[in-house]
């Protein structure tokens, strides 16, 4: 991939900061977005000094409509931005019976609305140019709707479905869309206590996760699951899902419901 300019959200920490590092080392200029501008400035200075790429920082709370609109406007207008990494996200809402409704809607605003609007802001320009890259950070919890928490996996299932649909629409126009599904990755999204309670064999370092995700991008994958040993297992899951298609819409209800055609 020739050097381009990537806008990376949630670049002040964790996976986003590693994306910034790896993309800079590949020679790409960067625009880094998050709320903690001091951390962004520190990272920008370090990356620019180490790699010579240009690194701009923008402070924005992407769950805030005005801040989001500012980043959308930049993505719509700035011709030099040809890559977007939708990485910013929050988790850990706890059980639904105890969850704070404000936290839940803030999570949906960031994990779903911001990803949707930023992608929609850049997509027309990339499609018109016939080139560009959108990387969306989802999660393996997108494939496990039960047994974790209720809302976070649902937001990530949205991002997975959205990315697959984007790739179907934009891929033929020359735009690359990749959904990345990390498993448990060692970042500040988890408390130290949470990580300590999990088997070490299930936890990947953020550096290894992002390196695998970028290797998946280089390989042309639309869906990258860094920990999954054999992608054939995921392909079999998608094939089973696709096999339902011819039977998902009929003029009459299935016989098991015992319903007769109404006038």
Ligand X SMILES: NC(=O)c1ccc[n+]([C@@H]2O[C@H](COP(=O)([O-])OP(=O)(O)OC[C@H]3O[C@@H](n4cnc5c(N)ncnc54)[C@H](OP(=O)(O)O)[C@@H]3O)[C@@H](O)[C@H]2O)c1
Task: Kindly tell me which of 3 and 104 has the beta carbon lying closer to ligand X.
Answer: 104
Q: Which residues would be at the binding site for ligand X (CB under 6 A)?
A: 9-16, 34-36, 60-63, 87-91, 110, 137, 139, 182, 184-185, 187-189
* Residue number, 34 or 175, with CB nearest to ligand X: 34
Looking at the Cβ atoms of 36 and 77, the one nearer to ligand X is 36
Identity of the residue, 15 or 104, whose beta carbon is nearer to ligand X in the bound complex: 15
Q: How far apart are CA 111 and CA 32, in angstroms?
A: 17
Nearer to ligand X, 137 or 170 (CB): 137
Closest contact distance (angstroms) between CB of 42 and ligand X is 12
- In the complex, least distance from residue 89 CB atom to ligand X, rounded to whole angstroms: 2
β-bridge partners, 85: 8, 135
Angle at which helices 151-170 and 101-108 pack, to 10 degrees? 10
What's the min distance (Å) between Cβ of 44 and ligand X? 13
Residue 249 has which token pair? 């819409």
Q: Tell me the closest approach of the beta carbon of residue 17 to ligand X, in angstroms.
A: 7
Please tell me which residue in 152, 234, 237, 257 is annotated as part of the active site: 152
103 belongs to the catalytic site: no
Q: Is 103 in contact with 121 (CB distance < 8 Å)? A: no
Q: How far is the CB of 217 from ligand X (least distance, A)?
A: 15
Catalytic positions are: 152
């Amino acid at each position: 991939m020739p050097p381009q300019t990537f806008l990376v959200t949630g670049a002040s920490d964790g996976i986003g900061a590693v994306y910034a590092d790896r993309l800079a080392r590949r020679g790409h200029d960067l625009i880094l977005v998050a709320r903690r501008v001091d951390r962004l400035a520190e990272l920008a200075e370090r990356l620019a000094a180490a790699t010579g790429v240009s690194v701009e920082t923008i402070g924005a709370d992407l769950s805030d409509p005005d801040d989001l609109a500012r980043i959308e406007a930049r993505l719509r207008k700035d011709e030099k931005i040809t890559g977007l990494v939708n990485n910013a996200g929050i988790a850990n809402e706890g059980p639904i019976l105890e969850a704070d409704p404000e936290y839940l809607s803030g999570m949906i605003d960031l994990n779903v609305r911001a990803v949707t609007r930023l992608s929609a802001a850049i997509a027309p320009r990339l499609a018109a140019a016939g080139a560009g890259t959108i990387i969306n950070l989802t999660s393996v919890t997108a494939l496990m709707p039960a047994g974790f928490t209720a809302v976070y996996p649902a937001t990530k299932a949205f991002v997975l479905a959205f990315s697959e649909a984007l790739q179907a629409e934009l891929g033929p126009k020359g735009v690359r869309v990749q959904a990345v599904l990390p498993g448990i990755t060692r970042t500040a999204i988890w408390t130290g206590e949470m990580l300590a309670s999990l088997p070490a064999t299930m936890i990947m370092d953020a550096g290894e996760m992002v390196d695998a995700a970028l290797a998946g991008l280089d390989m042309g994958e639309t869906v990258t699951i860094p920990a999954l040993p054999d992608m054939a297992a995921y392909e079999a899951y998608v094939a089973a899902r696709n096999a339902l298609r011819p039977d998902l819409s009929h003029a009459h209800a299935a016989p098991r419901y015992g319903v007769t055609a109404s006038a």
